[in-house]
Amino acid sequence: MMRQQIAAANWKMNLTYAQAEDLLNDLLLSPHALKPHQSVVLAVPFPYLSLAKHKVDGKAGFFVAAQNCYTKKSGAYTGETSAEMLQSMGIEYVILGHSERREYFNESNAVLAEKINIALSYNITPIFCCGEPLQIREAGTQNSYVAEQLKESLFHLSAEQLEKIVIAYEPIWAIGTGKTATADQAQEMHAHLRTTLANHYGKEVADMIPILYGGSVKGSNAKDIFSRTDVDGGLVGGASLIAADFGQIIDALK
């Protein structure tokens, strides 16, 4: 059985409301005949969740994601957004542990484990991000570093819960640095992640988990990267803000 292949757009903190509406319209205009094992997930800023949800309604294979959620169900946490709120809007996915959240907002593996738990408890699929910074890659310790992120944030889950997770690998050293990971480097790390999962949960479970690549995926390189055995699509930043580019990335799915 083919693992789910996913083209996920991470808009980050970009676009005005009017620009967001235009981008959604442009993206949904072009006919992408998605196969049953293919999905498009649009992670838009919080103020645009309702808009995006409305636009993709009835479009088979298209889903909306939040870019984060809080660890608590509700309460006096001004400025935060709960998984319960997301569920009540019909939001199906949430990005958790993005490298920017880890770096600028000091999100630890332990905090992310809590976020994973609460998202799952509201039937929202976490897209769990992991990846190493440049100094770790240069020291050659990336494999143990990334395995640690998985262990500390995911390994408390049952196999049944883990099967509801999507993993996104981001080589932080290849984002906005001018350095790019090769398709082979992406495959190498994805295979390592799958082996790490298999060692704990067994090969059958590990083989079901989609692992997306999140390091400067563009229309021009998507097909090459996605062709690798353990790469199940991409978590796309900049290129997801241009309808034609992201359309190419959708069409590059296996």
Residue 45 one-letter amino acid: P
**CA dihedral in degrees (190, 191, 195, 196; nearest 10)?**
-30
Residue showing tokens 């996915």: 93
Among the options 100, 107, 132, 170, which is catalytic?
A: 170
| Residue 37 a catalytic site member | no
Q: What is the mean pLDDT of residues 176-204?
A: 91
Q: Which pLDDT score is estimated for 19? A: 98
- Give the SS3 label for residue 75: coil
User: Shortest CA distance to 173 belongs to which of 145, 136, 128?
Assistant: 136
What's the pLDDT score for residue 216?
Answer: 82
Mean pLDDT value across residues 150-155: 98
Owner of token pair 């097909």? 223
pLDDT at residue 196 in the model: 98
Q: CB-based contacts of 162: which residues, under 8 Å, 6+ apart? A: 154, 197, 201, 205, 209
Rounded to an integer, the average pLDDT of 176-182 is 73
Average pLDDT of the chain is 95
Q: Which of 32, 98, 132, 190 is catalytic?
A: 98
How far is the C-alpha of 48 from the C-alpha of 21, rounded, in Å?
9
Question: Nearest-CA neighbor of 5 among 246, 233, 236, 234?
Answer: 233
Distance in angstroms (rounded) separating the CA atoms of residues 27 and 34? 14
User: Which residue segment(s) compose the domain that 225 sits in?
Assistant: 5-251
- Residue 31 confidence (pLDDT) above 80: no
What distance, in Å, lies between the first and last C-alpha atoms of the chain?
13
Give me the amino acid identity at 208: M
pLDDT in tens, 99-108: 999 999 999 9
Q: Are 69 and 119 in contact (CB under 8 A)?
A: yes
Mean pLDDT in residue range 238-244: 95
Residue 211: the pLDDT is 98
Report the pLDDT value the prediction gives residue 178, as an integer from 0 to 100.
65
The arithmetic mean of pLDDT across residues 193-210, rounded, is 97
Query: Which pLDDT value is given to residue 1?
Result: 73
C-alpha span between 25 and 247 (Å, rounded): 12
Cα 254 to Cα 223: distance, rounded to the nearest angstrom: 8
| CATH code, 224 | 3.20.20.70
Least confident of 31-40, 46-55, 96-105: 31-40
Tally the domains of the chain: 1
Q: Is 12 helix (H, G, I), strand (E, B) or coil?
A: coil
- pTM of the entire structure? 0.96
